[in-house]
Amino acid sequence: MLTAFFYTLRAAKLPVSVKEYLTLLEALQAGVIDDSAEGGSGPSIDKFYFLSRLVLVKDEAHFDKFDRAFASYFKGVQLVSEATKDIPLDWLKQTLELQLSPEQIAAIEKMGWDELMETLQKRLDEQKERHEGGSKWIGTGGTSPFGNSGANPQGIRIGGKGGSKSAVKVWEQRAYKDYDDTKELGTRNIKVALRRLRRFAREGSELELDLDDTIRSTAAHAGLLDIKMIPERHNKARVLLLMDVGGTMDEHVHRVEELFSAAKSEFKHLDFYYFHNCVYDFVWKNNRRRFAEKFSTWDLIRKYNRDYKLIFVGDATMSPYEILQPGGSVEYNNEEPGAEWLQRLTHAFPKYAWINPEPQGVWQYRQSIAVVQQLVQQRMFPLTLAGLEGAMRLLSK
C-alpha cells in the first residue's frame, strides 16, 4: 500500500529517499502512532499524516507539495484543522444562494466601522440559533453584514469563501502557503524584463580575461604575449520584495510564482517577505508561522539601506478600511493604519514600485486600488511584460 504512496511523493517532485521511506515503515511497525494501550484512540489518518511528514519531509518549503500529494493519494481525506470558532459551524453552512438585482444590493445600507463592530458584538450576545436568508443575524445567504455567502456591500465575513470581495474583516483561521521559488517558467519574458534592473560592477579577484587590453599590450611589446586580467563582473542590484499572499491573491498564485522564481534567479541580492492585503507593523517569511515568527517592519527599514529597490507585489484589492483605519486589518487589531506603513516604507526606499497582478482594466472599479495608487504616487504597474519593463526602467533611474 505505502509503496504507491512513496512513488506519489516522488512524482510530486519531493526529495524523498528510500532510506526515509524504510524509516517510516519501521516507525509504523513499532506502533509509534498506536496509543490504544495508553487509553488513546489508536492509529488514525491524522496521526499517520503528521508522522509521515515528520519522517519524509526535510525542508518546510516542501510542506505544501507534501500536503497536495498526501491529499491526492488518500483521495481527499480530511486532515486535522487547527481552526476553531466560538460560533457553531452549523450556523455557517450554506444551503441558500441569494440572488439580488443591482438595485436591491445598492439599497442595502452600509454601516460605518464603529457601528459595524458594535453591532457584531450585540449579535454575538443576543443570537442563540442558526439563521439563514435574513438581514440581521449572523448566518448565510442573506443581506446581514455578518456571516457568509450573502449579499451585503460591506460587512464581516465569518467562515465560508469570499465572493464579492467587499468584506472589511474576515473571521477565520487561514493557512497561507509560501510562493514556490522553484516554479518552472514557461517563458523567458519575465527574466528578460527583470534584467533591466541589474547593475553590473567589477569586483573581486582577477578572474576574467580582458581581451582588448591583452591585444593592445601584446602589440606594444612587439608581439610578446602579455595577458591582462580584470575582476569578474557581478550583479550589484539589491532588491527587497514584499509580496501579498492569501485571500484574493490566491487567484494569481501561478503568475506571482513565475515572477518570484525569475527574480530569485536574476538578482543575487534579493530578500523577500510576505504580508496580507496591506503592510502593517510586521511581515513574515514563513506563512505557516506568520504569527510565531514575525519581522518588525521597523526592523526592515533599519536593516536595509536606501540602495535597495523596494518592490511590492499585490492586487491591492481589499476594503479601504484596511488601508486607512486603525484596527482595519482583517486578521488582527493593528494600532496604526496601513497607509502610515506604506508611507514609511516608500520614504525609506526612494526607488520603489508596486506590481499588480489584477488586470489593469478593473483597477478603476476598485476603490482600494485607487487609494494605494495615490499612496505610492502612481508607481503601480500591471504584471505584464510591458508593465514589468516600465517598473524596471523606473527603478533603474
Question: 240 and 304 share a domain?
Answer: yes
Question: 268 and 374 share a domain?
Answer: yes
CATH number (domain holding residue 369): 3.40.50
pLDDT higher for 94 or 240?
A: 240
pLDDT > 60? residue 252: yes
pTM for this structure? 0.53
Give the pLDDT of residue 74.
75
Question: 245 and 313 share a domain?
Answer: yes
The three cell numbers locating residue 327: 484596527
Helices 367-375, 338-348: axis angle to 10 degrees equals 30
Question: 222 and 241 share a domain?
Answer: no
Question: 315 and 277 share a domain?
Answer: yes
Question: 63 and 47 share a domain?
Answer: yes
pLDDT in tens, 266-287: 787 889 999 999 999 999 998 8
Which pLDDT band, with edges at 50, 70 and 90, does 340 fall under? very high
Question: 212 and 145 share a domain?
Answer: no
For range 80-104, the mean pLDDT = 48
Give the pLDDT of residue 202.
44
Would you say residue 79 lies in a domain?
no
Question: 247 and 226 share a domain?
Answer: no
Find out whether 189 and 385 touch, Cβ atoms under 8 Å: yes
Would you say residue 181 lies in a domain?
no
Would you say residue 366 lies in a domain?
yes
Would you say residue 177 lies in a domain?
no
Would you say residue 180 lies in a domain?
no
Judging by DSSP bridges, how do beta strands 238-244 and 269-275 pair with one another?
parallel
The three cell numbers locating residue 382: 500591471
For range 185-206, the mean pLDDT = 58
Would you say residue 369 lies in a domain?
yes
Domain containing 154 equals 89-171
pLDDT > 90? residue 45: no
Would you say residue 129 lies in a domain?
yes
- The number of angstroms, rounded, from the C-alpha of 319 to the middle of its chain's C-alpha atoms is 18
Would you say residue 292 lies in a domain?
yes
What is the domain count for the chain? Answer: 4
